[in-house]
Amino acid sequence: MSDPTDSNPTHSNPAHSKPGADPKRELLRHTLATVAYRGGKAVHNVPEGFAEFHAGEGVRTPGQILAHVGDLFDWALSIAMGQQKWQDSKPLPWKQEVARFLAALKKLDDYLVSSEPVLAPIEKLFQGPVADALTHIGQISILRRLASAPVKGENYYVAEIQTGRVGADQAKPKREF
């Protein structure tokens, strides 16, 4: 296996891809693994009561944002399956909402790795629900800083993010600051 800190921009790990796999699907899967890694840092080890932290008038709470992120990945899967469906979920208790977020990521990743057709352009899945989720993960990180529980910065370029790793079992950070 190659060194994960390899600076070669063409570095990839074929152990996590199927031979002949669609490169667009694989890039979206790697993006989901990135969301799981970065999102995991934002949602784990939060202070008591963080889900209801109120930063100001008109600002969603972290619990509301995380529920929305789960909805985004449910929506992405419905789009991929050709049955676009949106739902507005009420926030669950924080740990349950984190589990829901990771389960929704896994369902989408499982679909992308399957032989089922993706009935939408991969680029549209990225630019819509996936990019929106990345924005909201950033909002949760900002709210953590406002709540005096900041997420440590990290050199994400050298992070051990692996396609298919979309659960809570993420690698330890290599270079936090």
Ordered per-residue pLDDT tens for the chain, 177 residues: 334 334 333 334 434 455 678 999 999 999 999 999 999 999 999 999 999 999 999 999 999 999 999 999 999 999 999 999 999 999 999 999 999 999 999 999 999 999 999 999 999 999 999 999 999 999 999 999 999 999 999 999 999 999 999 999 999 999 899
**Can you give the pLDDT at residue 61?**
98
> What's the CA gap between 97 and 72, in Å, rounded?
13
User: pLDDT value at position 56?
Assistant: 94
Which CATH number covers residue 66? 1.20.120.450
Residues listed for the chain:
177
**How many domains are contained in the chain?**
1
Global pTM reads 0.88
3-state secondary structure of 156: helix
Cβ neighbors of 91 (< 8 A, separation 6 or more) are: 51, 61, 63, 64, 66, 67, 97
Q: Is residue 26 part of a domain?
A: yes
The Cα angle at residue 10 between residues 152 and 131, in degrees rounded to 5: 50
Please say whether the beta carbons of 84 and 75 come within 8 A: yes
In a domain, 169, yes or no: no
Is the distance from CB of 97 to CB of 66 less than 8 angstroms? Answer: yes
Q: What is the DSSP string of 108-148?
A: HHHHHHSSS---S-HHHHIIIIIHHHHHHHHHHHHHHHHTT
Q: Is residue 66 part of a domain?
A: yes
Quick check: is 133 in a domain? yes
Max Cα–Cα distance, the chain, nearest Å: 51
In the DSSP assignment, the letter for residue 175 is S
> What pLDDT score does 6 carry?
40
Does the residue 111 lie in any domain?
A: yes
Q: Is residue 42 part of a domain?
A: yes
Q: Which of 161, 151, 158 is nearest to 174 (CA)?
A: 158
Q: State the residue range of the domain holding 135.
A: 22-150
